[in-house]
Amino acid sequence: MANLTQGYIRRGLYIGRFQPYHLGHQAVLRKISEEVAEIVIVIGSAQSSHTMENPFTAGERIAMIYEALSDLRNRCYVIPLEDVQRNAVWVSHLISMVPRFDTVYSNNLLVVQLFSEVGIVVRKPPMFRRDVYSGTAIRKLMLDGGNWRNLVPVPVASVIEEIDGVTRLANIFEEDSTQ
């Protein structure tokens, strides 16, 4: 992995679940885009969908991101990453699925820990009002009939409406609560 840092690759890596992609992600990625030549955007838990935590498929999340970041498309890689059920191999798994990168951006402390154990330093990007711009909060607004559209880029709202995402989430929620 030593070769990850030698040379001057200038590719930053950013990881999220994007359930859904929101204006917080958008702000962070625009900020990172000023620092690096190219961004590798990794969609975590790619195999999950139709659950309370992960209502949208990886394909739907890919569509959201490309629509919202269309002006940066020439400098982005958007890559779905399935979970492996063991943290000790997760960094290797990720490295095998993405083009080479030289910086990781993450506020997730487990991600920070896992990368640091193999000698890769992680930068913490600024967060943009995490209380408001959070997937959990937005999914709650969707369930409660609140105004979630304000918190996501316009094209993301369209993707969600096309697939009738709010009804999907409501069905998942109903089932979950009656268990």
| Chain residues that interact with a copy of itself, rule: CB under 8 A | 1-3, 46-51, 57-60, 62-63, 66, 73-74, 77-80, 82, 84-89, 91-93, 95-100, 108-114, 118-119, 136, 167-168, 171-172, 174-176, 179
Nearest distance from C-beta of residue 89 to a copy of itself, angstroms: 4
Q: Smallest distance from the beta carbon of 31 to a copy of itself, in angstroms?
A: 21
Secondary structure of residue 17 in the 3-state scheme: coil
Q: Shortest approach of a copy of itself to residue 148 CB, angstroms?
A: 19
d(CA 123, CA 62): 24
Q: Which is nearer to a copy of itself, 150 or 164 (CB)?
A: 164
Q: Which of 61, 55, 24 is nearest to 42 (CA)?
A: 61
Whether the CB-CB separation of 20 and 160 falls below 8 Å is answered with yes
| Shortest CB 57 distance to a copy of itself, Å | 4
CA–CA distance, 78 with 104 (Å, rounded to integer): 15
Nearer CB in complex with a copy of itself: 89/150:
89
Q: In terms of CB distance, is 129 or 150 closer to a copy of itself?
A: 129
Q: Which is nearer to a copy of itself, 74 or 147 (CB)?
A: 74
* Residue 87: Cβ-neighbour burial (10 angstroms; 0-12, 13-18, 19+): exposed
Q: How far is the CB of 17 from a copy of itself (least distance, A)?
A: 11
Q: Is the dihedral of CA 24, 25, 29, 32 positive or negative?
A: positive
